Amino acid sequence: MLSTMKTAPYWIDGPWPGRLAIVPRPRGGDWLEDEVRAWRQVGLDNVGIHCRQGIGRSAVVAACLLIFSGVDPESAFQHISAARACVVPETATQREWVIAWARALQESSLFSHSA
């Protein structure tokens, strides 16, 4: 029997093949298998990021993936906010960290490989 959790992923558009989603945190334990099966039934068979609410840590990870793929930080936050139907990331500190990380990435040789 499938659990009653909200299984719909929040799909994030990106400049890559495949799909990226923020998903509800799985409850684990006896429910984990059903929850993973439910994700697969709604099309999640590539990458899903989760944290407690899907607006803080998972939004930070998704933003970093977008930025690493060449999207500017503000556009990354807008894409994720649109998918989540709320403003992300959750805190100003998270936003500042992502922006600082993007600056450091741009200054490093890592960024040149994705440009």
pLDDT, one tens digit per residue, over 85-104 is 999 999 999 999 999 999 99
State the pLDDT at residue 77. 97
Q: For the domain that residue 103 is a member of, what is the CATH number? A: 3.90.190.10
Within a domain: 98: yes
Whether 20 is covered by a domain: the verdict is yes
Is residue 2 scored above 50 in pLDDT? no
The span from the CA of 26 to the CA of 78, in Å, is 25
Residue 73: inside a domain, yes or no? yes
Give the domain extent around 20.
10-114
- Specify the higher pLDDT residue, 2 or 50: 50
Residue 4 lies inside a defined structural domain of this protein? no
- Confirm if 84 and 17 have CB atoms less than 8 A apart: no
pTM recorded for the entire structure: 0.83
How many domains, in total, are found in the chain?
1
How confident is the model at residue 104, as a pLDDT?
A: 94
Highest mean pLDDT (candidates 36-40, 49-53, 86-90, 107-111): 86-90
